Amino acid sequence: MTKTGILAYGIVLLVGSLVLWGCPKKTDVTSSQENRNGESASSQKSGNVNTGMNAGMTGETSKPSEEGAALTSSGLRPVYFDYDKSFLRTDALKTMANNIAWLKANPQWKVRIEGNCDERGTAEYNQALGQRRSANAKTYLVAGGISANRIALISYGKEKPVCNEHTDACWQMDRRDDFIAIQE
């Protein structure tokens, strides 16, 4: 194969990968037997954590304060994401460490990670983005020693906003992962 052929093949692979990355994916719920007792906590905000390979790539600087992020009834806290990003930010590492500690101290509980997005973008795109956000949080929990069998994922896309203003501060609160405790 010539150098031109190899280059053309590489470009086709790159473009194809980018197209597939943006395609919406079905919501993956890893646990179908959930007790919905923690449902009232679903209105709480969640957040993101950087997974190492994306560390330091934060994009936006506005973020909710830790004091403003109320504890859910279980002690699990939300993490937040930058606009159009699904990696966990460094400012959420402490929150994720606390969530891991709570889950280790309470092995009788499972967790449902609910991926959320702000109102911008199509419903399909935000559904896929919310799924990537919750999947990254699950990866972090598993790396922290939480069994994957205790973690369920769902993406709500832009369907569950916590703020309805059309401002950057409001949109930041909607770009989150909520961690809902589910009793086994």
Give the pLDDT of the chain (184 residues) as one tens digit per residue: 676 666 655 566 555 544 444 444 433 333 322 333 333 333 333 333 333 323 333 333 334 433 333 344 578 999 999 999 999 999 998 999 999 999 999 999 999 999 999 999 999 999 999 999 999 999 999 999 999 999 999 999 999 999 999 999 999 999 999 999 998 7
- Give dist(CA 159, CA 156) in Å, integer: 5
Task: Tell me if 7 is assigned to some domain.
Answer: no
Domain region containing 160: 25-183
Q: Is residue 101 in some structural domain?
A: yes
Does 73 fall in a domain? yes
User: Can you tell me the distance from the alpha carbon of 113 to that of 102, in angstroms, rounded to the nearest whole number?
Assistant: 15
Residue 4 lies in a domain: no
pLDDT tens digits for range 144-182: 999 999 999 999 999 999 999 999 999 999 999 999 999
Residue 1 lies in a domain: no
Q: What is the CATH classification number for the domain harbouring 40?
A: 3.30.1330.60
Residue 16 within any structural domain of the chain: no
> Does residue 139 fall inside a structural domain?
yes
Classified as helix, coil or strand, 80 is strand
- CB neighbour list of residue 85: distance below 8 Å, 6 or more residues apart: 48, 57, 59
Q: Is 11 domain-assigned?
A: no
pLDDT at site 32 = 29
Mean pLDDT, all residues of the chain: 74
pLDDT of residue 184: 75
- For the chain, what is the domain count? 1
pLDDT at 93: 87
Strands of the sheet with 176-183, listed across from one edge: 79-80, 176-183, 109-116, 151-157
Helices 123-143 + 93-105 axis angle, to 10: 60
State residue 95's pLDDT score. 95
- Whole-model pTM above 0.75? no
